[in-house]
Amino acid sequence: MEDSKRAELIEFAVKYNGKAVESNEMDANAVATSLLGLSTAIETANSILNGSNAKVSVKVHGSFRPGSFIIDIASFYSTPSVIQTVFNSGNIETVHNVIETLGIVSAGVCSAGAVTYKTLIWLYKKIKGKKILTKKSLDENTCQITVEGCNEEIPVNIIVLNLYENKKIQQALENVVSPLDDEDMSDITFLVDGKEQEKILREERGYFHLEDTDIIDKKEDVDHFVITQCNFEGKQTGWRLSFGNSQQSKGKLDDFSVKVLDENFLHMVSRKEVIISNEGTVIIEARYRKTTHKAERLTVNWEILEVLNTDSLTNNHKHPKYKAKSFDEF
């Protein structure tokens, strides 16, 4: 059984590249979101292919290597009975094949005799976020699709297409590539024994976003927010806010992750023209967009479109756009 368990262990690495990680540091929220998305994608794909009783464990090794930001991952079947089932049934996909189907590692890397076939990540890159218009079965394993704005008929493995259409996996992969929203990130690369298996470029990150048809609510408004976490480098990600116009906000803060799109404000933060702390004492008024997606569960995305004012002072004077206000004024 121990030999079987070792045979069902696959180890690979996730490498985050770009200027943002030259110091071997990375925003903790970005890493956590990406790795949780990766774990969810593997576990969900395994459940779809093998049923809910086939449990896969995804573990992070604590080896961060110099010169970049690389995280080692181990994925394996966690229940001996499931491992035995895997080896006794030709209808059960091994953990190797699950990860190969996703496209995290190349077919043939994990086991001898593996057949090369197109993967889920390949399909995302091929479709480029366009809507699938038609599906036609070619045989029991393959279908043919066409997508919006393209006359090409694309042959796709049916298993890969089923994974592509799963809302939970869509959300998970969007989370995997979310660090690429940082303009100083260049790519996310998957490695086995130091050899590149797959690479997702920053310019490809839009291919992994949820389709607009999944949006069930979108609103824009103006409100006051407490800054509970600031990205002092003036980047769009790494910010957390809480609503700051109620007595409740003065006590326990229920904060949430946001993306700040106001480039002028971000530029001021990076140049330290706006002084902000992470102590929950800075209040801003901002125009925001709240988007609610429905996948396996409701997901809410927050974006700050424009910062209208702040109570921070800059070089002993107030910037004309960002007017200072005290908490009691809200």
Can you give the CATH number for the domain in which 273 is found? 2.40.50
Asked if 171 and 223 sit in the same domain, the reply is no
Checking if the pLDDT of 275 tops 60, the result is yes
Q: Are 59 and 194 part of one and the same domain?
A: yes
Q: Is there a domain that residue 144 lies in?
A: no
Q: Is the confidence at residue 199, as pLDDT, over 50?
A: yes
Residue 329 has pLDDT above 60, yes or no: no
Whether residue 87 is found in the same domain as residue 198:
yes
Domain match, 195 and 271 both: no
Residues 99 and 16 in one domain: yes
pLDDT number for residue 72:
67
pLDDT in tens, 38-48: 999 999 998 88
**Bridge partners for 290 per DSSP:** 219, 302
Residues 205 and 219 in one domain: no
- Does residue 276 belong to any structural domain of this protein? yes
Q: How far is CA 264 from the centre of its chain?
A: 26
Domain coverage including residue 316: 215-329
- Residue 236 pLDDT greater than 60, yes or no: yes
Q: Residue 91 — very low, low, confident or very high, per pLDDT cuts 50/70/90?
A: very low
289 located within any domain: yes
Q: Are residues 179 and 281 in the same domain?
A: no
Whole-number pLDDT of residue 63: 57
Query: What are 11-34's pLDDT values in tens digits?
Result: 888 889 888 787 777 788 888 899
Per-residue confidence (pLDDT) for residue 189, from 0 to 100: 93
- With tokens 């904060």, the residue in question is 255
Last residue of a domain, one of 165, 183, 209: 209
Same domain, 220 and 197: no
Confidence category of residue 180, pLDDT binned at 50, 70, 90: very high
Q: Is residue 59 part of a domain?
A: yes
Stretch among 195-199, 215-219, 242-246, 256-260 having the lowest mean pLDDT: 242-246
Residue type, 306: E
Distance CA 193, CA 107 (A): 15
Residue 7, pLDDT > 70, answer no
Last-in-domain residue among 166, 184, 209? 209
Per-residue pLDDT, 166 = 92
Q: Which residue did the predictor score with more confidence, 170 or 112?
A: 170
Q: Residue range 148-177: average pLDDT?
A: 92
The reported pTM is: 0.63
State whether 278 and 246 are in the same domain. yes
Task: Count CB-CB contacts under 10 A for residue 155.
Answer: 11
**Residue-averaged pLDDT of the chain:** 77
Residue 138 in any domain: the answer is no
- Both 87 and 112 in a single domain? yes
Q: How confident is the model at residue 316 (pLDDT cuts 50, 70, 90)?
A: very low
Is residue 303 assigned to a domain?
yes
Please spell the DSSP secondary structure of 14-78, one letter per residue.
Answer: EEEEEGGGTTS---HHHHHHHHHHHHHHHHHHHHHHH-TT--EEEEEE--PPTTSEEEEEEEEE-
* Residues 85 and 163 both lie in one domain: yes
User: What are the tens digits of pLDDT across the range 46-90?
Assistant: 888 887 777 777 877 655 555 456 676 665 544 433 333 333 333
Residue that terminates a domain, selected from 209, 233, 250: 209
Average pLDDT over residues 264-293: 85
Does residue 146 fall inside a structural domain?
no
Residue 130 within a domain: no
Total structural domains within the chain: 2
Q: Are residues 164 and 246 in the same domain?
A: no
